[in-house]
Structure 1
């Protein structure tokens, strides 16, 4: 059963207007991620993936990430749209977050522009920013959407949404 979308206000987008299969877009706003007090990623060259009912996922070029804090893990997942994702564990000082970021080494043709980029779960981070706005993580531990004031839902991942 499709939920009733929240009507977007001026300057807002509804996740119910996002496409399926997902679309990837360039992002020119500054994207910044902080973990254990350290800025681990900072870019104006991110991409975002937009998919029906989901807040965007943000992907940051490897060149704009302090990759020395990341160690490849043995975890992987499979996305019907993008293919096999591989994960990183993030360690800064005495704090560690396992499988907190993912990347693709091979990807389906429609999403090849994500090669060389890393996606991040916002929940384990101290803060993730889109421009000057601190992101709210998508509900649950499965999805990695970044919620900002310029998008409206309801969003998949909230209680009672698994049947959508």
Structure 2
């Protein structure tokens, strides 16, 4: 499968095709919020993002910044060749529960130690996820956990036909 043609970024934008592989982790300056079930379940200025070729950023937020009871241990594990073994959480807000909607790496691989006490959340099952003042859109396809904002351009892994990218 051939690599897709990257969209040229405008001023102030990043192309996900300029992100590295293996991924890079970096601090985020913007405020990050997540709403679920009509409740604000996290509001932080202490996020990091993981940047990987062809993927919009995945935001990892401190577990301690979630309101009590918002993260509930869930069954399931997965493995990332770069970050290591992940565990999953159900996410609760108001009277709403989204099963398996968050994950973290409790013992991340070398280079990703900053993720140990942080959790990433799929944007699609939430009411709203924001980066700064912008509402994020879920990465296409439902499998990956990136958040798309106007600051990044693709095409993004997850669209039909992108499995081999």
Q: Same fold (TM over 0.5)?
A: yes
RMSD: 0.9
Q: Hey, what does 2:9 align to over in structure 1?
A: 8
Distance 1:83 1:59 in 2: 15
* Contact map agreement 2:35 2:93 (CA 8 A) in 1: no
Q: Hey, what does 2:35 align to over in structure 1?
A: 34
Alignment of 1:99-110 (within 5 A): 99-110=100-111
Q: Secondary structure at the match of 1:110?
A: coil
Q: Hey, what does 2:160 align to over in structure 1?
A: 159
Normalised to the residue count of structure 2, the TM-score between the two structures is 0.97
Distance 2:8 2:27 in 1: 25
Normalised to the residue count of structure 1, the TM-score between the two structures is 0.97
The structural deviation recorded for 1:61 is 0.7
Unaligned runs of 5+ residues in structure 2 are none
Q: Aligned pair count? A: 164
Unaligned runs of 5+ residues in structure 1 are none
* Contact map agreement 2:103 2:120 (CA 8 A) in 1: yes
My pick for the range that moved more, 86-95 or 129-138, is 86-95
Is 1:18–2:24 an aligned residue pair?
Answer: no
Runs of 4+ in 1 over 3 A off after TM superposition: none
Q: Hey, what does 1:127 align to over in structure 2?
A: 128
The structural deviation recorded for 1:103 is 1.1
The structural deviation recorded for 1:62 is 1.4
